[in-house]
Chains A and B, each alone.
Chain A
């Protein structure tokens, strides 16, 4: 019998739970403790969505810098082009493009989840692969067109 008043594990942990609850009455619900779960690659996509989102927030600065330099006239646009086409910045731009491609594709996956589509485990795993492959294709295609040979003149 599990249910009952025997001084077993259940009643002890319940007492502890009540005790910790009253101790931290104002404590709000916490995120799940991820370390208790066995790793699955769908979790990697989940955290990558946050990481790429944060990176894209930084990329927003570059978009505004680009627009602002264009609004200030030809001279400042020229110097912005010089900065943005430097080898280091080309690598960064490719990184931002990859972050965008992933966040975009995985964001569509999240929107499907939000309307209740594709929640089954096998569906979520399959869509994870679709997202990764689509993001790689977009990065390669747009990366070649934006930063490939003959695009950004030195």
Chain B
């Protein structure tokens, strides 16, 4: 049996709440991506993808800009969460781990902002 106090054992291991939140958001983004990615794939297979006018008209049509922006947002979020889990499992040096995690987060935010800006630009121009 250990003489360490229960508090001493758990100190420095982070809070349980963060991990549960991470797990939960990863599942919720996964759930949201099921209909969104089916919607994108169903749209892509029916479009003549080489035709600029038809493609941009489809992106601007009805609710499509909203769905496309949401898709980009949730994809970036889910991707960032997934990469976080993989990096935390395989990158052991604290400095390298923090650097990779921060770079990944910045890259995902940049990608998401770029994608949503592009969708709005297409939708509001036509």
Which secondary structure dominates chain A's binding surface? helix
Residue pairs across A and B with CB atoms within 8 Å: the count is 82
Q: Which of A5-13, A104-112, A123-131 is the contact stretch?
A: A104-112
A residues lining the B interface (CB < 8 Å): 26, 28, 31, 50, 53-54, 56-57, 60-61, 63-64, 67-68, 70-71, 74, 77-78, 81, 85, 100, 104, 107-108, 110-111, 114, 142, 145-146, 151-153
Query: Residue B101 at the A interface, CB < 8 A?
Result: no
Q: Whole-angstrom distance from the CB of A99 to the nearest CB of chain B?
A: 12
Query: Residue B55 at the A interface, CB < 8 A?
Result: yes
Instruction: Give the residue of A77, A100, A142 whose beta carbon is less than 8 angstroms from that of B55.
Output: A77
B residues lining the A interface (CB < 8 Å): 12-13, 27, 30-31, 33-34, 37, 41, 44-45, 49-50, 52-53, 55-56, 59, 68, 72, 75-76, 79, 82-83, 86, 89, 111, 114-115, 117-119, 121-122, 125
B122 touches A67 (CB 8 A): yes
Q: Across the interface, which residues of A come within 8 angstroms of B30, CB to CB? A: 107, 110-111
Q: Across the interface, which residues of B come within 8 angstroms of A108, CB to CB? A: 34
Q: How far is the CA of A142 from the CA of B41 in the complex (A)?
A: 8
